Chains A and B, each alone.
Chain A
């Protein structure tokens, strides 16, 4: 009787612990090249980062230093044409703008902006700069933006994007305008420079 109780307890414990073990955040160590979301995109971080568990969409990964609200580094690794950047809450009722086969580089900031505005239901979003750049060995676009999120905090962000073989690859970094953005923008640039297609 007693041993059966212990066995039952043990099973309960294992069941209770299993998901949390599988859902752990992962350390991304300095200098170790890692592939993003099982895609050809690899980066080599210049410092330790935390990969957050759970993602905002298919082919995405989110890294942070102090938590997603203070520094949010999101990789979009190979978004296919016809798909939104992040997962839709409801395909039918709250559709998000889609990346398309005909999307131009200069339209990527607009796509990003519309995705943020729609997914967060915010109005205050400004693209502050758009520049041509080289990213993943291709012609790409670099843009910076500033927005006020629902928590009424102003955040700054920067993203680098390119379209490789018809798929969208983009790395974006968001952090509060006060202190956090300036502090870690250099770490973000190192990640962008280390990005390769393998």
Chain B
């Protein structure tokens, strides 16, 4: 509560244009093997334990101990070893920007989040936010708030029916809207509080807290790029719709930028370590994104990853993106991108495949077949080897 008030003060200060620091204090860590207290928390935890038992068997989970250990390490580096032991991280293969936290300490990290953050500090910012929900017991608070709201509404309904009149009906409907609105506002305030806690963890860690705002700035840029590619109106990031569960992105970016300790701006954000740890998974994550047929967003993600240098997987992904859209001009570009990938990694089989197909479709049969032949040499046991083989006449000499 105090934390929320302090944050509210922070936001007010922000509105007034004063760059005051209002870093919320951290709640005490869950001590040892914490046991839920009270009937509500116990019930909530029991339900989530049951859910976790089922979820742990899910086929959507990426079961890579190295990646799992790395993401857990980033969380522990952010919130501290004494706190992070209370949680379990599950990496889920869902191509969207999200992570979620359950009241019993289960953290779901979506693969789409791993693709979109660029450094340990950025990943830590999102994980710290989720961890803030956990330590501040937000699910429990939300359960109570929703229940109280429902109770008030139910009793108001009973009372209103005792004196039925148009005035009463109107008053009841107003109350209904007020309570529904307040539940969503409550949710948004919890998110603001979690943002504040997340940045406090980062501030006290060895990572660079300014990264938190970058995550949101890049996400807004991605949404804008996506809308532009689809010919939609530029999305607004400053409005709070009635049913919105989260504060608007622009507000989050500004608040996080403001709460990050300025003297920590020179800290390492662990971008190189993050790239190295994610490298084995990057081609897969890029493929998952590209095949969503979301040209604007995918192009933006590839470009922003390439800011730290183009690599063969990035060029290949870009080639695939353009070839899948498949307009004649896209195929010409795709062939160039595959060429770039091959220049960096001549033994990249899929780049040769894409190059071959793109060339074939732009009427360059001989060069295309040569590239496909190279693909088959590099990957003779490819799933589509036989079909590709049928596209190459036997007399084509080996390159």
Contact = CB atoms under 8 A, between A and B. Distances in A.
Answer whether A and B are interacting partners: yes
B293 A96 contact: yes
Which 10 A-B pairs give the minimum distances between C-beta atoms?
A130-B384, A123-B288, A118-B293, A123-B95, A148-B59, A123-B93, A114-B291, A117-B291, A152-B58, A154-B59
Interface in B107-140: 111-112
A129 B385 CA distance: 9
Contacts of B96: 121
Contacts of B326: 98, 100, 102-103
A132 B292 contact: no
16 contacts: A92-B230, A92-B231, A92-B232, A93-B230, A113-B291, A117-B293, A118-B291, A118-B294, A121-B94, A121-B96, A121-B292, A123-B112, A131-B387, A132-B387, A152-B59, A154-B59
Contacts of B324: 97, 110, 114
Contact of B361 (A93, A102, A123): A102
Interface string A122-140: 1111011111100000000
Given A103-B326, A148-B60, 8 more contacts: A104-B360, A104-B361, A106-B387, A109-B384, A117-B95, A117-B288, A124-B60, A148-B93
A124 B59 contact: yes
Interface of B: 58-60, 93-96, 111-112, 230-232, 288, 291-294, 324, 326, 357, 360-361, 383-384, 386-388, 390-391
Interface of A: 92-93, 95-98, 100, 102-107, 109-110, 113-114, 117-118, 121-125, 127-132, 141, 148, 152-154
A160 to B, nearest CB: 13
For A93, A113, A130, A141, the residue with the greatest tally of chain B CB atoms inside 10 Å of its CB is A130
Contact of B230 (A95, A118, A148): A95
Contact of A105 (B112, B231, B232, B387): B387
A131 B59 CA distance: 27
Contact of B386 (A123, A125, A131): A131
Contacts of A97: 293, 324
A122 B92 CA distance: 11
A92 B293 CA distance: 12
A40 B137 CA distance: 62
A93 B227 CA distance: 8
A87 B95 CA distance: 22
Contacts of A114: 291-293, 324
Given A93-B230, A106-B357, A123-B111, A130 B383 contact: yes
Contacts of A154: 59
Nearest to B94: A123
Contacts of B294: 118
A97 B330 CA distance: 14
